[in-house]
Amino acid sequence: MKIKKVTKAVFPVAGMGTRFLPATKSIPKEIMTLVDRPLIQYAIDEARAAGIKEFIFVTSRGKSALEDYFDHSPELENTLRKAGKDDLLEILKETNMDSGAIAYLRQTRPLGLGHAVWCARRLIGDEPFAVLLPDDVIAAEKPCLQQMMEAYEQTGGNMVAAMEVPPHKASSYGVLDIAEDMGAIVLAKGMVEKPKAEDAPSNLAVIGRYILTPKVLSNLNKMKQGAGGEIQLTDAIAEETKTGKVYGYRFRGQRYDCGSKAGFLQATVAFGLARPDLREEFGAYLNDMIALQKAAQ
* Contacts with ligand UTP, residue ranges (CB under 6 A): 12-19, 29, 58, 107, 110-113, 115-116, 133-135, 259
**Which of 107/158 has CB closer to ligand UTP?**
107
Q: Shortest gap between Cβ of 168 and ligand UTP (angstroms)?
A: 19
Euclidean distance between the first and the last CA atom of the chain, given in angstroms as a whole number = 62
Give dist(CA 100, CA 120) in Å, integer.
16
**Which of 15/195 has CB closer to ligand UTP?**
15
Cα within 13 Å of Cα(181), Cβ side: 9
Give dist(CA 33, CA 127) in Å, integer.
32
The 8-class DSSP code of residue 18 comes to G
**Which of 12/174 has CB closer to ligand UTP?**
12
**Which of 54/135 has CB closer to ligand UTP?**
135
Q: Shortest gap between Cβ of 248 and ligand UTP (angstroms)?
A: 19
Q: Shortest gap between Cβ of 262 and ligand UTP (angstroms)?
A: 13
Give dist(CA 52, CA 143) in Å, integer.
13
Contacts of 131 (CB under 8 A, 6+ apart): 9, 10, 11, 12, 117, 208, 209, 210, 212, 233
> In 3-state terms, what secondary structure has residue 185?
strand
Chain position whose Cβ is nearest to ligand UTP? 15
Q: Shortest gap between Cβ of 17 and ligand UTP (angstroms)?
A: 4
Q: Shortest gap between Cβ of 260 and ligand UTP (angstroms)?
A: 8
**Which of 20/80 has CB closer to ligand UTP?**
20
Give dist(CA 69, CA 127) in Å, integer.
28
